[in-house]
Structure 1
């Protein structure tokens, strides 16, 4: 297996310059992932965290939201399993800290996958929380060690990084979570715990740069968390502070000071694998992607033009996160929509997770984990919370025309979360060269997946167009994202 690190795309989707990529490829790839249990990213600004903030300035920062029930609570077992495996809880099946029913046989941690590709890799896990070293990361990992506290974990990690040739290292720090449980995020003790973790991270980073072989190594550094905390302390629920997590990344391909909105914690595992030249096989069914392979879609281009609330008065007045203006090439057919209803959700809309899922908690919107950045959503439940004209929600999202080759098979792909809670339909149609739409896929039961559908392209056809029609009477919702047609 090649040891050269793969080139990564920066936040704008551009490749690194040939000189920097060539320099990196001549060095041995090394990876360090540090997890700060229970770290609430929104509190970083107030905390004394010069080391972490230095990584943010030197690399990429991305925040995103976790799931919540009914997929899984915002707990450590599901969180760290998601980070380690690159799959969401509905795949790896860790839904609490008991780990009962875990499918690590189908979705092993990334270090185990590295070992399966090339057992010569030296993999290291050091963690304060015992399930990290005993359960989340499997027995194929070369060295799994624990610490009695974070100071001990840090000392062990520093020693191993200085004195061994570890290739892929994961370090878990636990005591910020303890402060969150004891005091909540608004207490000075929580900020102090963040500052202490930052100092420990600094010691670990110094151990990396002090290695005698450092000049000949290409280090990828990632910092993340499994969940956040509520202001009053605790986690497991669906409040914004519990669900927000982050990825901070420094190394080849990460533009200094860049901020992204399309990166998820599931992307950590494939990003580490990519750094070692390992491309996840489709059969692995990972939800994450190597960060360097992510590219914005048409919906993401709407972010600068998103609006603040109109009828969703429970949301912060300054939060921008929705629009019913379609991106270039896309249209919305609301000819069958009744008048009135909640403004933000009249017909198909485009929204961010921060805006849409927090409009009303506890109704399953938090499970929309496979969408990235801005996505399309039809929500008959929220729309129906305000008086409207007679009739059901009935709106169709129409795609641009995609180039296809006649006489071949095309693949239609998109991320989707379809949830039913009453009378509702979801149908996908395809038409060729402006012809009559034909049914491609129907949804009548809950589906949360990344679809890849095949369709025969008629001989002579040159374009394909998609239609997503949703109807519902105070039911639930349908989200669509990352739509593509390839032939």
Structure 2
């Protein structure tokens, strides 16, 4: 949660006291009615989603966290980075909306904790979607950040819910209550889908910082709750005949000093961790995104999403077929980008097999990493310069191609930035149409140009599409008629600039019919 609102008005001294008392509070619960009675479940495929607010994944290693670490060993653990403004703040409203709906903020409309502009009617949360398409499922949600209920972000569509007020009463006791009630329901009832939200890690992050010992201690408390939920599932008398998937995710990170909402790497850190049928053990894919939670829930329940839902996510076990993903072994550390930590391996000029880069018209000098088309990760490229919309490259996954004349010109150079990325030749003989699909992030400035061209049978490239205005991380689909006598086609992405902006290409797919 971002605490410009009521959620983070807790005093640092109170947070410190609550964490110091964690040994007793980890098992204490706030007085309330008994857990609700859910409808009897109807599915052998079952899903538990545990949402931990403000858990910076790179701090988990320094905590004890045995249950999180066991899930990493037994499941798939994908880390990634969030957007930043102007798409949305790295706050809880946008983060949990992204997790729940399976789409990015430019679709669900939530940009901050005011929830102004929310579009849950068009993009409902996964529990609300399940109520529409599989109403016979038994579903439960428990939250102690009240907006997740009041705004309809998470609890909408649930058969039963527990809503507590951590802002008013404190999150330590309410998290314990959520853990106890969810444990009881998992052990003694027959739910099909459960969402349990836990907020105290974020509170400690706000008040004491992600670098504090208390933050690591709070992670251990929540990890203990996770362990109890996992044990409750395994203790079910029908466990042997059920197929359980457990997903853990967070909505944003934290600075070392405490706080989030901005564009630093630490604030943008998120992860999705899942174990269950069909999910590889010990996998750490580079192409996971926060939008993948909802898609994974649907996949594990045997539900094929309707394309009309407009999901941006994919199941966590499905790997990208993008040719750029083969470049991980070639990734290198910084050369001229001295502001990027030396240990971050995230760029290369090596093109995938069959691809090429033409730099014959490229100027000399400049920043080595960005001389002509490069291939990079979000972790590396978005560190090159904050707050210039590189953080908005949300629909790229893993490794992508980027031509960045702005960063290239940050070191002495002469001549223009003029570079062409060339695909392999694809067979189109006997076909009538060919379609080029890709995702792009493009920022226009001045006289720069960005053109897509097609070369039939190796001939002179012809223009397919020019970009003359910003395109902020959107899928593109360009259809062409196959000329008479054409047996092959290759495409070119030609970018020119002079200390202007950049062009990102990812997810290239070519089909002929």
Same-fold call, TM > 0.5?
yes
- Structure 2 CA distance for partners of 1:49 and 1:434, relative to 1, 3 Å: same
Question: Cα distance, 1:159 vs. partner?
Answer: 2.0
- 1:63 to 2:79 alignment: yes
The 1-side partners of 2:322 and 2:361 are apart by: 27
Asked if 1:44 corresponds to 2:60, the answer is yes
User: Which residue of structure 1 aligns with residue 195 of structure 2?
Assistant: 170
Alignment of 1:177-188 (within 5 A): 177-188=202-213
Residue deviations 1:436-468, cap 9 Å, x none? Answer: 322222211111211122222234433221100
Residues 40-189 of structure 1 correspond to what in structure 2 (within 5 A)?
40-134=56-150, 135-137=152-154, 139-148=156-165, 149-189=174-214
Quick one: distance in 2 between partners of 1:462 and 1:209? 58
Q: What is the TM-score with the length of structure 1 in the denominator?
A: 0.92
Q: Distance in 2 between matches of 1:50 and 1:293?
A: 26
Aligned positions of 1:201-220 closer than 5 A: 201-220=226-245
Mapped contact 1:62–1:261 kept (Cα < 8 A): yes
CA deviation after TM superposition for structure 1 residue 405, in Å:
4.7
Alignment partners' CA distance in 1, 2:445 and 2:229 = 49
TM-superposed deviation, 1:138: 5.4
1:394 maps to which of 401, 418, 434:
418
Aligned to 1:45, what secondary structure does the other structure show? helix
Partner of residue 316, structure 2: 291
Structure 1 residues 60-459: aligned runs within 5 Å: 60-134=76-150, 135-137=152-154, 139-148=156-165, 149-390=174-415, 392-447=416-471, 448-459=473-484
| Uncovered stretches (5+) of structure 2, i.e. residues with no partner | 1-42, 166-173
Following superposition, the deviation at residue 100 of structure 1 comes to 0.8
Cα shift readout 1:85-133 (whole Å, capped 9, x = no counterpart): 1111111110001111101111111122222112111121111211223
| Number of the residue aligned with 1:465 | 490
2-side partners of 1:224 and 1:343: how far apart?
A: 36
For residues 79 and 52 of structure 1, what CA distance do their matches in structure 2 show? 20
Who is 2:51 aligned against?
35
Q: Distance in 1 between matches of 2:138 and 2:432?
A: 45
Instruction: Give deviations 1:345-383, integer Å, cap 9, x for gaps.
Output: 011000111111001111110001111111100001101
Q: Separation in 1 of the partners of 2:400 and 2:424?
A: 16
Q: Pick which of 328-337 and 125-134 moved more.
A: 125-134
Higher mean C-alpha deviation, range 83-92 or range 398-407: 398-407
Instruction: Write the distance in 2 (CA, Å) between the matches of 1:60 and 1:227.
Output: 19
Partner Cα separation in structure 1 for residue 146 and residue 479 of structure 2? 45
Contact residue 130 and residue 157 of structure 2 kept, 8 A: no
SS at match of 2:278: coil
**Contact 2:125 2:156 survives alignment (8 Å):** no
Q: Which runs of 5+ in 1 are unaligned?
A: 1-26
* In structure 2, distance between residues paired with 1:323 and 1:434: 27
Three-state SS of the structure 1 residue aligned to 2:506 is strand
Specify the structure having the higher radius of gyration (Cα). 2
Superposition RMSD in Å: 1.5
Matched position secondary structure for 1:293: coil
Q: Please give the TM-score of this superposition, normalised by the length of structure 2.
A: 0.87
Task: State the alpha-carbon separation in 2 of the partners of residues 199 and 396 from structure 1.
Answer: 53
Higher deviation after alignment, 270-279 or 338-347: 270-279
Is the contact made by 1:422 and 1:476 (CA closer than 8 Å) also made in structure 2? no
Contact 1:66 1:227 in 2 (8 A): yes
Distance 1:473 1:141 in 2: 54
SS in structure 1 at match of 2:424: strand
8 Å CA contact retained: 2:127, 2:156: no
**Deviation at residue 413 of structure 1 after TM alignment:** 0.8
Query: Counterparts of 2:446 and 2:392 in 1: how far apart (Å)?
Result: 18
SS at match of 1:44: helix
Distance, in Å, in 2 between the alignment partners of 1:226 and 1:373 is 19
